[in-house]
A and B are shown apart, each in its own frame.
Chain A
């Protein structure tokens, strides 16, 4: 399997006035297609920062970040945006659905931005994904009418609707109770297995980590090490196709 993310000696520093805050201090790692990776580490260790760099929403101070074989530092803002749209799906800690759009429209949104599919094809695609996350009956609802877990499932559907190679999820379960969080991880895992989509997610939760193929351990902006695959929890029934 080819590598989808390749990071080499990346440093990221934030400037707070005159103070320089080092968030990543020479991180190197490699993620292969189809992997289900967790990034773990204490608060402030640089998990979000690392995901931002991989997700091309931010650029490294030094070092090299390659996503889907492209060096993100050489891309223009526009190109990075296109890269995000076409290759990367995002799942956020606080779901980040567009409040004024329906569930269906939220999921359809990336497709509309791509503008490749006809309306009918879009509908089929969106409905199929909503089906997979078990929310096809809620297509017309507004996000505010859904529970936290349901919202995050919509977010999962949105992240996957464009069939990206890579999905990034920054603490996707942090705002959910543990059962619901478990549910989401199961869903992601199922999709990873069924579609071969690469997932990288961050978490503090050891139980959540345990589902990952591999866990990268971050501390104070540095990779402490990579632990091998751990036994996956069973995939919940409702998340199965």
Chain B
């Protein structure tokens, strides 16, 4: 991980030096901005979302899936249960600590997956559905203000902290200056190669009793594959349910029971 850190320093250093003087966010403001993004999406209680994923690839059939995402952010627990189409029913993922497990009821097997796992064979990642932990996982630097369509945005570069396993070590964010919402996100590999570009055109918020404030979630994410240029992925969060979940839900046994 030391190499990650070095590389991050190399990538981020010059960028930082090159940052324009005008309208720069102070380090404190920057920190605040990132923390706000995380905080808005945090859910104190349990969280359950019904999602739709559509993967388009050149010369191939679209892959369409529905899944339920379960989160218990306090324990950093996360589980996916695929519900549609029929052939995918009962498959799922379970994250415990640093382990991401995938399950296939057809063979009754659990497999260890990595942070880079393509969820259900699409170009979405675990982090697209999980709570936002940008402040914990990354160091941010400010790059300047610019226009994104009709919006004025802050451009930020985030690099992964040493010793933390993330799908992409470098992330660029375009954050709406007026509302503080992420509108565009680009992810880069260690080599500096651009891997994905994602757009967040719709943010929803929902009042949580346990949090005593709104929980924000992206209702729509459009991901464009920067390696296979003709591939794209659409993620829709169709609805969110904040009722508390069964205590033993985040276990292998629970997911296994769903298809038995």
The short answer to whether A and B are in direct contact, CB under 8 Å, is no
Q: What residues make up the interface of A, taking CB atoms closer than 8 Å to B?
A: none
Q: What residues make up the interface of B, taking CB atoms closer than 8 Å to A?
A: none
